[in-house]
Amino acid sequence: MAIWLVLCPVLFAGVAFAVPSERWRPWLVPLGAAMHLALVVLCLQQPEVTAFQHWLRLDPLGKVFLLFISVFFLICASYTPGYLAHDHKRSNRVLCTCLLLSLGTMTLVIISHHLGLMWIAVEATTLSTAPCIYFNHNPRSLEATWKYLLICSVGIALALMGSFFLAYASLFSGEHSTLLFDDLVRLAPKLDVRWLHVAFVLTLVGYGTKMGLAPMHTWLPDAHSESPALVSALLSGALLNCAFLGILRIFQICDAAGEGPYARRMLLFIGLFSMAIAAVSMARQRDIKRIVAYSSVEHMGMLAFGIGIGGAAAVFAALLHVIHNGMTKGWLFLSAGNIYHAFGTKDTDKLQGALRRVPFSGWMFLLGFLAITGSPPFGPFVSEFQLIVASFTAQHYWAGGLFLALLLLVFIGMGYTIFGISLGRPAQLESDRGFQDSFGTGFPILLYMSLILLLGLYNPPFLTTMLHDAAAFLEAH
């Protein structure tokens, strides 16, 4: 069953590449995503899902990420036919194929239980999503694609070095060297601490580059800004979280070795630093999608902050925020994409009056801003509040206070621009772009908003159980 989780979207990608019809090909993306979600539901009902002598395994931590990414991708994929119907002048063969390939590679990252295989899978996510960033075929998208490839490749090379050092640290255990996560966690107390420290630093920098943590985030604003809206949503809502999972895997080994405090200090610092960089960068930002991109940097910092605080409550809140942030980012990027199509520009000075030009997308973007900045009753408010409570409970008073201050700065910096876009005087359009809100481009946004509103008011028992099991699994040693 585990191998089919990967093969299903890959097979659909092959079919999408072979189908000649530009009209029908986009429908294969949501169809493949629906089949993938059906397989995920079946796997979650199994007591154990493994393959290739535990090189592939679905553990409690992987279950949370796999279910979230499968649901997230399906909603995002449902936006594809409506989006491509509007942008009908360009072939969608490569985009549809690579979207499905990215789902397969992200699934491989999640179920990989071998250090080397996970590294290969993370690199494969880079290669499968890079052509999607270049979809618009203009100089800016080409530059963004090269930045994405080069910077993430440097990061992944550092992660490979960290994997080598971690394997070398296992030589001191007195047993055979291994790259299986289960074995590394079991042997963790016997690992050489010096090499383990170096391995964690390198993997944190390496996978942190792909995750968008500052100061390794420099590829992220360009890639998110120049990609199609659905690709931006995919990068922010799903791909960054796969890199976060890679960091969690290495952190689990450090924690099992008794070096949890060392790893947490680094995560706490880099988390707050990422939030600070995002808060400064959002101020007076002139690109609507770059604003949301820097919000991704901020929220990746929150995830690192939660793990850095430590304790079951903080880890639970961080894992819950993976879901809340991801869904809200899909909501925001798709809304921003509709606004861009209506105005034909990403320049915030020319986007004034979005509520009048595209009322549905304008209101969704405004509400999405309130959700992502932690306003009740939306989901991010719940997980961010839990992070704050956990930080003060753990007596990290200075960290909790700084966390609150940065949230306020982000709200002011982001709100100054977004309220202007939504409520400002309508700009004079140079030409009528012919774009109007429609069911195909609006329903996925409404789904994201409904889920985030529901999760802000009610946490389903099955999800709470999964998150508690994942948090306990991460800290078990």
Whether the per-residue pLDDT at 294 is higher than 60: the answer is: yes
What phi, psi does 50 have (nearest 5°)? -140, 165
Separation of alpha carbons 347 and 362, rounded Å: 15
Find the mean pLDDT for residues 394-415.
94
Q: Is the pLDDT of residue 159 over 90?
A: yes
Residue 41 reports pLDDT greater than 90 = yes
pLDDT at position 351? 82
More confident residue, 426 or 243: 243
pLDDT of residue 136: 87
Give the mean model confidence (pLDDT) for residues 22-37.
94
Cα 251 from Cα 268, distance rounded (Å): 13
Return the top range by mean pLDDT from 261-265, 338-342, 432-436: 261-265
β-pair partners for 172 = none
Query: What pLDDT, on a 0 to 100 scale, did the predictor assign at position 477?
Result: 60
What's the confidence (pLDDT) of residue 52?
87
Which pLDDT does position 438 carry in this prediction?
82
End-to-end CA separation in angstroms for the chain? 28
What is the rounded CA–CA span in Å between residue 134 and residue 259? 42
Round to whole Å and give the CA distance between 229 and 335: 8
Query: With bands split at pLDDT 50, 70 and 90, how would you rate the model's confidence at 389?
Result: very high
* Residues 425, 376: Cα–Cα separation, whole Å: 28
pLDDT of residue 162: 94
8 A C-beta contact, residue 373 and residue 417: no
> What is the span of the domain harbouring residue 234?
137-475
Give tens-digit pLDDT for 92-118: 999 999 999 999 999 999 999 999 999
Give the span between the Cα atoms of 204 and 208, in whole angstroms. 5
Nearest to 33 by CA among 12, 50, 16, 54: 12
pTM, to two decimals = 0.95
Q: What is the mean pLDDT of residues 156-181?
A: 85
Task: Render 293-350 in DSSP notation, one character per residue.
Answer: HHHHHHHHHHHHHHHHH-SHHHHHHHHHHHHHHHHHHHHHHHHHHHHHHHHS--BGGG
Total domain count for the chain?
A: 1
Domain presence at residue 70: no
Kindly tell me if the per-residue pLDDT of 432 is higher than 80.
no
Mean pLDDT within 227-237: 94
Alpha helices (H) in 344-460, listed in sequence order = 354-357, 359-372, 379-393, 397-423, 439-457
Of the two residues 460 and 430, the one the predictor is more confident about is 460
Percentage, residues of the chain above pLDDT 90 = 75
> Is 60 exceeded by the pLDDT of residue 429?
no
Which tokens in the block code for residue 406? 């940065």
Spell out where 63-178 has E strands: none
In a domain, residue 234? The reply is yes
Output the pLDDT for position 428: 61
* Cα→Cα distances 386→317, 381, 462, Å: 6, 8, 19
d(CA 265, CA 261): 6
37, 105 in Cβ contact below 8 A? no
pLDDT at 308 over 70: yes
Statement: residue 385 has pLDDT above 90: yes
Residue 419 has pLDDT above 90, yes or no: no
Q: What is the 3-state secondary structure (H, E, C) of 109-145?
A: HHHECEHHHHHHHHHHHHHHHHHHHCCCCCHHHHHHH
| Lookup: tokens for 23 | 């009209």
Q: Can you give the pLDDT at residue 287?
A: 86
**Percent of all residues in the chain with a pLDDT value above 70, rounded to a whole number:** 97
User: Cβ neighbours of residue 20 under 8 Å, at least 6 residues apart?
Assistant: none
Task: Please indicate, yes or no, if residue 126 is contained in any of the structural domains.
Answer: no
**Any domain includes 247:** yes
Q: What is the average pLDDT value for the chain, to the nearest integer?
A: 92
Mean pLDDT of 62-70: 97
| CA–CA separation, 24 and 358 (whole Å) | 27
Confidence check: pLDDT of 173 > 70: no
Taking residues 355-372, report their average pLDDT. Answer: 91
Query: Quick check: is 157 in a domain?
Result: yes
pLDDT at 219 over 70: yes
Whether the per-residue pLDDT at 88 is higher than 70: the answer is no
Spatial CB neighbours of 135, under 8 Å, sequence gap ≥ 6: 90, 94, 95, 141, 227, 228, 231
The verdict on residue 162 lying in a domain is yes
In sequence order, what DSSP letters do the residues of 360-385 get, joined into one string? HHHHHHHHHHHHHTT-TTSHHHHHHH
CA 253/CA 196 separation, integer angstroms? 9
DSSP state of 203: H
Provide the residue type at 134 as one letter: Y
- What band does 175 get if pLDDT is binned at 50, 70 and 90? low
Asked if the structure places residue 110 within a domain, the reply is no
**What's 420's DSSP letter?**
H
Residue 222 has pLDDT above 80, yes or no: yes
439-452 tens-digit pLDDT: 888 999 999 999 99
Q: Which residues sit opposite 180 in a β-bridge? A: 114
On whether residue 417 sits in a domain, the answer given is yes
Give the integer Cα–Cα distance in Å for 365 and 229: 13
Q: What is the pLDDT of residue 427?
A: 60
